[in-house]
Structure 1
Amino acid sequence: MTETAKHRYSLAAMLFHWVIAVAVIWNWRLAENAEHAATRSEAIAIFADHKALGITILVLTLGRIAWRLTHKIPPLPANYKTWERVLARTTHLVFYILLIGLPIGGWLANSLAGRSIDMFGLFTMPPLPVGENSALAETIFGIHGTGGEIMVYLVALHILGALKHTFFDRDGGIFRMLPFGKVGGAPARTIEP
């Protein structure tokens, strides 16, 4: 196994990563577009796609977690400082919490509002058996929106970190999650606190 291959994620992990990343950004844009829709019916139609894509993200995330639990992940580069290691692990943990919590929260809020989720016209996700409570639904929708904002900032932080490691530290950061490019290009440095 080459040095680059030892520090690169598997093709399946890459596929999960990039499909989920695109879906999350697309879903954020759907929510933004729905909030600024010209009519209520247009907003409802856009939110229908947002909800279906959210459930799709949940399923993909559960698949990614199953893959990660059954396959070894590459180690972080040796040149990462302690704070970078802690930030990387914390960011990934918060990502997983949001990737699971946001769709479940959205589904729960819709269920409390008495709504099912149409999965792109293919089938319908019924409401969870929680009864109706419109006040609680609105509270959870508010928390869901705040979680979505946190996700956007986390995505930006993740992108900045990947760019820093790729272009400033030159350790091939972004290429760990791509099937091309050199990984581990920077010489190992002493890990500092």
Structure 2
Amino acid sequence: MTAVQKYTLPARLLHWLVALGIIAAFALALSFDDMPLSPGKLKLINYHKWIGITVLGLAALRLLWRLGHRPPALPAHMAAWEKLAAHAGHALLYLLMFGVPLGGWLYSSAKGYPVVWLGLVPLPNLMDKNEALAGTLKTLHMLGGWSVIALAVLHAAAALKHHFIDRDDVLRRMV
């Protein structure tokens, strides 16, 4: 029996930290979406922003790490379409890991709301206040959030399929 060819420890840690951050940010967004404006809602929105900026930073670290460290090869038994789907899914996940937080930051800037990471580090506005564009940015941010969750569910389902049906090492490489 051969040993599992795993992702590096930093790659695995960044993967799971980003995943937890995305889930937490999404859950927070769902929790405050229908709340009336209140100090409690503003606190949850700030937590959402903090997590989003953290995910953005972790995604940047993850991409930098990935550029210098090749991931384990996909199993030889995978069909060409499965390999293509895996690569396309990963590319789209990376795009969303950057696009969704940046979209939220752009939305905050367009609304004129500051982003202050962890309540300590004020981040620059990415654009001038623009109420006309803010609604579109909010919609894009929300669609991106739902998209990253949907894609993450497919990603997890594929990993579980590999583990329980194909009985290969795809899932074990990341745990």
> Which range, TM-score by smaller chain?
over 0.9
Residue number in structure 2 paired with 1:147: 144
Tell whether 2:166 aligns with 1:169. Answer: yes
CA displacement, residues 154-186 of structure 1 (integer Å, 9 cap, x when unaligned): 1110110010000110002210101xxxxxxxx
**What TM-score, normalized to structure 1?**
0.86
Aligned-pair distance for 1:3? Answer: 4.0
**What TM-score, normalized to structure 2?**
0.94
Among 124, 136, 143, the alignment partner of 2:133 is 136
Aligned-pair distance for 1:61? Answer: 0.4
After superposing the two structures, state which structure 1 stretch, 116-125 or 64-73, moved more: 116-125
Q: State how far apart, in whole Å, the 2-side matches of 1:165 and 1:137 are.
A: 42
Q: State how far apart, in whole Å, the 2-side matches of 1:77 and 1:28 are.
A: 32
CA displacement, residues 43-86 of structure 1 (integer Å, 9 cap, x when unaligned): 22111111111111010000000001111211101111112111
Superposed CA RMSD in Å reads 1.5
Aligned-pair distance for 1:11? Answer: 0.7
Residue number in structure 2 paired with 1:160: 157
Aligned-pair distance for 1:38? Answer: 5.6
Q: State how far apart, in whole Å, the 1-side matches of 2:174 and 2:32 are.
A: 32
Structure 2 unmatched ranges of 5 or more: none
Larger Rg: 1
Among 85, 88, 92, the alignment partner of 1:87 is 85
Tell whether 2:112 aligns with 1:114. Answer: yes
Q: Percent identity?
A: 37
Structure 1 unmatched ranges of 5 or more: 179-193
The DSSP-based 3-state class of the residue aligned with 1:118 is strand
**Contact 2:18–2:58 (CA<8 Å) still a contact in 1?**
yes
Among 78, 84, 104, the alignment partner of 2:102 is 104
After superposing the two structures, state which structure 1 stretch, 40-49 or 141-150, moved more: 40-49
The DSSP-based 3-state class of the residue aligned with 2:78 is coil
CA displacement, residues 116-163 of structure 1 (integer Å, 9 cap, x when unaligned): 1121222221312x2211110111110110111111111110110010
**Contact 2:74–2:170 (CA<8 Å) still a contact in 1?**
no
